[in-house]
Chain A
């Protein structure tokens, strides 16, 4: 299998929580630099899929490759698959950024403290180095004047931009966005989407779970539509948004376009 230009590939992912099966065999491959939006009704398994892709919630079945390397598991000499040692899993995780719906900033660290944490603690960068990098990234997301402010004093949109900066600071191969604007007041959605759009043009690989149709239209290379734990349709934004093939996609879009 040629995985050279693939950032991430997932094959036949199943995920169950006890009796409840949330993912029923999802496969996807995302090329380097590609921006993929995942849409679908709530409960369709979008967030669960993202959480599988960075092993926050390991899949029950299936394989994920991160840049050609199996994620979260390793093969023993007799061909059995076992859980990867924690230190190696952490290395892999640091290559996958994640932006959460509820920001999840560390409230006891300032904006720049949140961004410096990973480079310093995980990558072993010096404080000066980490600060320089964090300053640069916070400037990129438009928060140069908020570096020393604690999250409690930032708006939701500013907090989410700090969270994006925190993910960027690790220079990940891919960033996962889990409904990054769903918890925001409507007037703050734009500033976060603008940052994400600019990332999309900078060859950063992104998988974005979102209900923002306009964002998907402008920024996505491809849209996946999920329902009941499966990818039921995929296509370019134009194909999918203008001319959805599946009945379920049509119903969903009707609700969100109006």
Chain B
């Protein structure tokens, strides 16, 4: 085993890691945004929009993320819609993960007892004030654990973008392995990096969750 290979290729690998982080954060922000929009649409009460969200969700839930990536990268250009590699990756992650985000947000909102909302109405609060002051602060605490899980899935799936030559962490590693013929050292290093980053993320989010749900403590 030669650890020197890792040091030698570190700049190249870290460049990939950087792109992985950027794409992941972008993907999380975009899919959370689209997920929130899906929830808003499905709660709008407008039948056509509700059905549209349902159909979209059903389609996405039935397609593997890899197939979605191929559809966007190889099939859409056939009908004249063409994206570069990184936008394709972002779009895939956003489209694929937004229904899952929506489901989590919807669940968190539904978990807030209607009595609390009625109490807010009797005080004279508007729907927007109720959402902002009563629902969001509580839904946040309820949604953080499942959102953390789904975000971890998104980060891991971003490695699939190496298939369409996005120069992210896994792609850069593949390149390094091709040059050095040292798969063990490099892939072990990459696995360790993914694991370390995601574990830290999980611990941090657990702390955040505890902080925003402190009001529930009875002791």
A residues whose Cβ falls under 8 Å from a Cβ of B: 54, 56, 86-87, 90-91, 93-94, 96-98, 100, 102, 104-110, 117-118, 121-122, 150-153, 163, 166-167, 170
Which residues of B sit under 8 angstroms from A167, Cβ to Cβ?
Answer: 122
The stretch of B14-22, B25-33, B53-61, B113-121 in contact with A is: B113-121
Which residues of B sit under 8 angstroms from A150, Cβ to Cβ?
Answer: 215-217
The stretch of B63-71, B77-85, B129-137, B186-194 in contact with A is: B129-137
> Given A104-B113, A104-B118, does the pair A117, B126 have CB atoms closer than 8 Å?
no
The 7 closest A-B pairs by CB, nearest first: A94-B124, A104-B115, A118-B123, A104-B119, A98-B122, A122-B124, A150-B215
> Given A121-B133, A152-B215, A152-B218, does the pair A104, B124 have CB atoms closer than 8 Å?
no
Which residues of A sit under 8 angstroms from B134, Cβ to Cβ?
Answer: 106
Q: How far is the CA of A151 from the CA of B138 in the complex (A)?
A: 14
Contact across chains for B118 and A90 when beta carbons are under 8 A apart: no
Which residues of B sit under 8 angstroms from A56, Cβ to Cβ?
Answer: 118, 121-122
Q: Flag whether B76 is at the interface (Cβ < 8 A).
A: no
Contact across chains for B119 and A106 when beta carbons are under 8 A apart: yes
B residues whose Cβ falls under 8 Å from a Cβ of A: 113, 115-116, 118-127, 129, 133-134, 137-138, 141, 215-218
Contact across chains for A117 and B133 when beta carbons are under 8 A apart: yes
Q: How far is the CB of A43 from chain B (nearest CB, A)?
A: 20
Q: Which of A108, A152, A166 is B123 in contact with, Cβ under 8 Å?
A: A166
24 contacts between A and B (CB under 8 A): A90-B125, A90-B126, A94-B123, A98-B118, A98-B119, A100-B115, A104-B113, A104-B118, A104-B119, A106-B116, A106-B119, A106-B120, A106-B134, A107-B215, A107-B216, A108-B141, A117-B133, A118-B125, A122-B124, A122-B125, A122-B129, A150-B215, A152-B216, A166-B123
Contact across chains for A121 and B115 when beta carbons are under 8 A apart: no
Contact across chains for A105 and B215 when beta carbons are under 8 A apart: no
> Given A86-B126, A102-B115, does the pair A93, B216 have CB atoms closer than 8 Å?
no
Q: How far is the CB of A105 from chain B (nearest CB, A)?
A: 7
Which residues of B sit under 8 angstroms from A110, Cβ to Cβ?
Answer: 215
Q: Which of B113, B115, B119, B215 is A108 in contact with, Cβ under 8 Å?
A: B215
Contact across chains for B217 and A108 when beta carbons are under 8 A apart: no
Which residues of B sit under 8 angstroms from A122, Cβ to Cβ?
Answer: 123-125, 129
Contact across chains for A93 and B122 when beta carbons are under 8 A apart: yes
Pick from A93, A107, A109, A150 the residue with the most CB of B within 10 Å: A107
Q: How far is the CB of B41 from chain A (nearest CB, A)?
A: 21
Pick from A91, A108, A122 the residue with the most CB of B within 10 Å: A108
Q: How far is the CB of B206 from chain A (nearest CB, A)?
A: 19
Q: Which of B118, B122, B125, B138 is A107 in contact with, Cβ under 8 Å?
A: B138
Q: Which of B121, B126, B138, B217 is A152 in contact with, Cβ under 8 Å?
A: B217
Which residues of A sit under 8 angstroms from B120, Cβ to Cβ?
Answer: 106, 117
Chain B residue at smallest Cβ distance from A163: B119
Q: How far is the CA of A106 from the CA of B129 in the complex (A)?
A: 13
Which residues of B sit under 8 angstroms from A105, Cβ to Cβ?
Answer: 116, 119
Q: How far is the CA of A227 from the CA of B198 in the complex (A)?
A: 62
Which residues of A sit under 8 angstroms from B218, Cβ to Cβ?
Answer: 152-153
> Given A104-B115, A106-B116, does the pair A121, B129 have CB atoms closer than 8 Å?
yes
Chain B residue at smallest Cβ distance from A55: B121
Q: How far is the CA of A252 from the CA of B134 in the complex (A)?
A: 40
Q: How far is the CB of A100 from chain B (nearest CB, A)?
A: 6
Chain A residue at smallest Cβ distance from B134: A106
Contact across chains for B215 and A90 when beta carbons are under 8 A apart: no
